[in-house]
Chains A and B, each alone.
Chain A
């Protein structure tokens, strides 16, 4: 029986919802791994100190063989046990990104193990902004991205053509994704709207840090927010590269703006998103009820 508290905090979101920015800020707020780490530039390629949920760098060592020998459904079934084994080997807090929906059906098994999870932060962003950012990131049309956001079978890293460093991560629809993480989760989940964090990053991240049990004063939050401004993240990406960028030759850190969809998203696609995801958008204040 497990007697040690879990060390994993999941930073969960639908893709392009501010996950990496949040991870960068919280990495600055977590206790430094080494003295003086606070003063150094952020290392974009070591944010949070742990790989994304579904990374084969977690799966393969704990399986003891290549997870690419398993069928996708077999990988899905064994992922929670691998994540739990990874957590059991940790000796300090790790902030790990997750893009999966927490469950694929109501009452279905969670993709991350509750007994090996300390807490989670779920970031929700206006799906109209998500669509614009996701289209830029992947180099796809906005129409195809909007359709994918309404597809219950949508998944990341779901290809039969090549071996990727991450196993399949099932997203479901945008609405289902939000619901799966925020309706009756099996561990404490702090829900934050991306737009609120952009409007008041110091207040928002101070509350988030407090909810995770990170003892930080306001000065430290101010410094962390300043160190992770978008222009700084873009400069770090330009100088050192960023392993999470896509194959499209555009920066990972694009605008980070809230409400930019009004300039970029065709009206018919905005309406389609509002029709597809009305209930969840109303719940989070993106459209009136």
Chain B
């Protein structure tokens, strides 16, 4: 699995995780390990060792390689990141003129669709599903995680894309490959919302708690933060992003194909992110 950053082996995986301190639907977490169990696909164990995180998989009878790879790239990869102390935002990322934009927000808000709309305009992709963001000596940097986007048929049609690779047998969404970007400084975070009856999308600047809350809420693997002991690091990460990177809320209409308008808006946001956003009319 591309960019899992952990060795994967097939072997026995227990049904119960010793030392579990928190559990949820399909998963159990201990301070140094994570067990994911989807009966139709298999059990996955990610455990932190002295030299990093290792993953063991016990595929379920009948599960395909694609089924297993999909779950490795989703929840297991998120857990591996957090076990390594790395944080990511749910959503996608793209690079515009050397500057990264994180696209996060509610499920089905159109994060991948907007990333695809940016990609077909020639902006390379950083990630889809979860965007790793690391604090460096010169500020926050968004890091590459994927070389494509998972798109549903309506989005592919809208953007004139055909083909795409099967992600899991039975899932209608497809993986569409796009040029991948190298790590880039994070210029903006866009929190996408989508509902019926929204007007034309106008970005709203979020500051303070109104920015902190969506970042905390949209952190990939949020439920694992406490059991893995990274609560303080997570708070510092969210607060640092809010302090150093402009955060916007952008509301689209779920009944309208407004990906192009949203892409225009994001391009304008990133282009002007360094000239005083609070005074710039980006509509």
Residues of A within 8 A of B (CB): 45, 56-57, 59-71, 73-74, 78, 81-82, 85, 160-165, 237, 241-247
* Tier of interface size on chain B: 35 or more
Asked whether B154 lies within 8 Å of A162 as measured between CB atoms, the reply is yes
Return the chain A residue nearest B169 by Cβ: A71
Q: Is B99 an interface residue (CB 8 A)?
A: no
Asked whether A65 lies within 8 Å of B223 as measured between CB atoms, the reply is no
Given contacts A71-B40, A242-B197, A243-B195, contact A165 B108 (CB under 8 A): yes
> Nearest 3 CB-CB pairs, A to B?
A241-B197, A243-B195, A81-B25
Asked whether B197 lies within 8 Å of A164 as measured between CB atoms, the reply is no
Asked whether B74 lies within 8 Å of A165 as measured between CB atoms, the reply is no
Residues of B within 8 A of A (CB): 24-27, 38, 40, 70-71, 74-75, 78-79, 90, 106-109, 129, 152-155, 167-168, 170-173, 194-199, 217, 221-224, 254-255
In the complex, what residues of A have CB within 8 A of residue B198's CB? 241
Return the chain A residue nearest B222 by Cβ: A61
Return the chain A residue nearest B167 by Cβ: A69
Among B24, B25, B222, chain A packs the most CB atoms within 10 A around the CB of: B25
Given contacts A74-B40, A78-B25, A243-B196, contact A57 B106 (CB under 8 A): yes
Asked whether A243 lies within 8 Å of B197 as measured between CB atoms, the reply is yes
In the complex, what residues of B have CB within 8 A of residue A70's CB? 38
Complex CA gap A68/B106 in Å reads 13
Among A60, A63, A67, A69, chain B packs the most CB atoms within 10 A around the CB of: A69
Asked whether A160 lies within 8 Å of B172 as measured between CB atoms, the reply is yes
Complex CA gap A85/B223 in Å reads 11
Return the chain B residue nearest A61 by Cβ: B222
Asked whether B107 lies within 8 Å of A165 as measured between CB atoms, the reply is yes
Asked whether B26 lies within 8 Å of A241 as measured between CB atoms, the reply is no
Asked whether B74 lies within 8 Å of A65 as measured between CB atoms, the reply is yes
Asked whether B26 lies within 8 Å of A63 as measured between CB atoms, the reply is yes
Complex CA gap A84/B39 in Å reads 19
Given contacts A60-B107, A63-B75, contact A244 B223 (CB under 8 A): no
In the complex, what residues of B have CB within 8 A of residue A243's CB? 195-197, 254
Asked whether B196 lies within 8 Å of A241 as measured between CB atoms, the reply is yes
Asked whether B196 lies within 8 Å of A244 as measured between CB atoms, the reply is yes
